[in-house]
Structure 1
């Protein structure tokens, strides 16, 4: 989902194990339906103007 957001070119992941890294990389193969993307956009609307943009 994050990679579909405007301005996002590379999400930062913080795996602590090789299994966590494998899981994060497999997420790149997911193709989320539009309804799911819309729902996530409603839950996480993104940042607002500064300084509020840095509050979440």
Structure 2
């Protein structure tokens, strides 16, 4: 006798819920960072962008 068992449904993946972080009265520390002119120049050398002023430089 041959049984024709139906395949079991796929198992669902579970993960913990991503809850929003509570808002605080002070901004995150990253907003208080000031980059030196040398650092900004170096970043422009690494990632020069399309050139020109935005948004015109990004227009098609």
Q: Same fold (TM over 0.5)?
A: no
TM-score for both structures, normalised by structure 2 = 0.36
Please say which structure displays the higher CA radius of gyration: 2
Larger RCO (CA under 8 A, 6+ residues apart):
1
TM-score for both structures, normalised by structure 1 = 0.38
